[in-house]
A and B are shown apart, each in its own frame.
Chain A
């Protein structure tokens, strides 16, 4: 097996989308898979605190469904990962989950911009302005001025 082939198979397997390459123990790979998913989950929990709380005991299972489906990309792939998860849960049937996803996404959008296309620079510092509504714990209008250090106001509405 060529190095290219071995690396492709290993990457797919570690992402939970393929069997272990020949010659590698499936249990060992499984442990590595769990460890990688746990790392992604911890990073997402830090970036999506409201969603983590709103999902409660279902957080782990929800993240697992997302992790096997989505392949984060770019320099800040943990931000891309969290962004994608929050976006997919925007229309969750439980209103508190959808609301938490929306507000966490606003928090991410205050700091970052996300390109539609995957790539190294998909996630970048936000330099443009932002006007958004946050709904928890109280309704706030969030205003961010342009510039990478643009001032932010939280206005009660």
Chain B
């Protein structure tokens, strides 16, 4: 992971921002695309065109690396095809599962904090790596509204064990850390201190909202100050190469997003 290039700050790609991304390419260090959203040649062509204007990262959401039932070969082939066309510097996915027993959950579900979960992710990452030879893989921590029974370790320990076992980098989602700290009542800085910060390659930032007494990572609001503080704490302690501002719902004007990109860039510059 040591040789991976530095990109700076950017945004997660949404179709609605296709032209904004190209128009403001000088203000973006990087753009992150989701291969799961590419349903054919036109989508792939768009992604390749964007990659000609701005460096593109690929971020998977549906491989279900934590599924005990293994990976779906069609999905792995799809990711490999997009990777081949876009040639990103790394590929990232989540420490989570999204389907089991023929049911597509439609969201990232947490894994139990067990050795069996570590071994399952490791086996699935080996299979993925065989389809993406030579490409560095990053794994992302998720926001989990509930913990599964039978824990044999803490969440940070699970993340560390998986990264060790799979020899992958960490995509650290600071908004997920913020959400988990609120919902599970822990200190986010203590949590960050227990992670292998030397493995952090990329950071995600987003904004959520409170609903029925729970803080939800909805990607529908601007980045809260708490997450900016976590970024300011993290940057001098790690070698972050890219910061992505994520937004899925209630899409703002692109200028609002660019203001957040500039702020992330300023935090990155202080450390450089």
As a 0/1 sequence over residues 1 to 45 of chain A, the CB contacts with chain B under 8 angstroms (1 = contact) are: 111101110111011010001111100110110011001101000
- Tell me, in angstroms, the Cα distance from A15 to B103 when the chains sit together: 8
Give chain A nearest CB distance to B147 CB in angstroms. 9
Chain A residue with the shortest CB-CB distance to B220: A42
- Does residue A155 face the partner (Cβ distance < 8 Å to B)? no
- Does residue A112 face the partner (Cβ distance < 8 Å to B)? yes
Contact between A8 and B117, CB atoms less than 8 A apart:
no
- Does residue B107 face the partner (Cβ distance < 8 Å to A)? yes
Interface members, chain B 135-191 (any A CB < 8 Å) = 145-146, 148-150
Contact between B102 and A148, CB atoms less than 8 A apart:
no
Give chain B nearest CB distance to A116 CB in angstroms. 16
Contacts of A66 in B (CB 8 A): none
User: Given known contacts A36-B107, A75-B37, A124-B40, is B146 in contact with A7 (CB within 8 Å)?
Assistant: no
Give chain A nearest CB distance to B18 CB in angstroms. 13
Contact between B214 and A124, CB atoms less than 8 A apart:
no
Interface size on A, residues (CB 8 A): 45
Chain A residue with the shortest CB-CB distance to B120: A3
As a 0/1 sequence over residues 17 to 48 of chain B, the CB contacts with chain A under 8 angstroms (1 = contact) are: 00000000000000000001111111101000
Chain A residue with the shortest CB-CB distance to B42: A148
Contact between B40 and A127, CB atoms less than 8 A apart:
yes
Interface members, chain B 110-150 (any A CB < 8 Å) = 111-112, 114, 116-117, 120, 145-146, 148-150
Most buried by B among A12, A29, A32, A75: A75
Give chain B nearest CB distance to A145 CB in angstroms. 13
Give chain B nearest CB distance to A70 CB in angstroms. 11
- Does residue B226 face the partner (Cβ distance < 8 Å to A)? no
Contacts of B99 in A (CB 8 A): 11
Total contacts A to B, CB within 8 angstroms? 115
Contacts of B100 in A (CB 8 A): 4, 7-8, 10-11
Contact between B41 and A125, CB atoms less than 8 A apart:
yes
Contacts of B43 in A (CB 8 A): 125
Contact between A35 and B216, CB atoms less than 8 A apart:
yes
Contact between B116 and A76, CB atoms less than 8 A apart:
no
- Tell me, in angstroms, the Cα distance from A99 to B44 when the chains sit together: 33
When the two chains form the complex, which single residue of A3, A23, A121 contacts B78, counting CB atoms closer than 8 Å? Answer: A121
- Does residue A49 face the partner (Cβ distance < 8 Å to B)? no
- Does residue A120 face the partner (Cβ distance < 8 Å to B)? yes
Contact between B105 and A25, CB atoms less than 8 A apart:
no
- Does residue B211 face the partner (Cβ distance < 8 Å to A)? yes
When the two chains form the complex, which single residue of B36, B39, B104 contacts A125, counting CB atoms closer than 8 Å? Answer: B39
Contact between A31 and B145, CB atoms less than 8 A apart:
yes
Interface members, chain A 36-86 (any B CB < 8 Å) = 36, 39-40, 42, 71-78
- Does residue B68 face the partner (Cβ distance < 8 Å to A)? yes
Most buried by A among B37, B99, B114, B146: B146
Contact between B39 and A123, CB atoms less than 8 A apart:
yes
Contact between B102 and A71, CB atoms less than 8 A apart:
yes
11 contacting pairs across A/B (C-beta < 8 A)? A6-B150, A7-B101, A11-B103, A14-B105, A14-B109, A24-B149, A28-B145, A71-B104, A120-B72, A120-B75, A125-B42
Residues on A close to B: CB < 8 A? 1-4, 6-8, 10-12, 14-15, 17, 21-25, 28-29, 31-32, 35-36, 39-40, 42, 71-78, 112, 119-121, 123-125, 127, 148-149
20 more A-B residue pairs beyond the given contacts A8-B100, A11-B103, A76-B39, with a C-beta to C-beta distance below 8 A: A3-B112, A3-B117, A3-B120, A8-B101, A11-B100, A15-B103, A22-B149, A28-B145, A32-B145, A36-B105, A36-B107, A39-B106, A75-B37, A75-B75, A76-B36, A124-B40, A125-B40, A127-B40, A148-B45, A149-B42
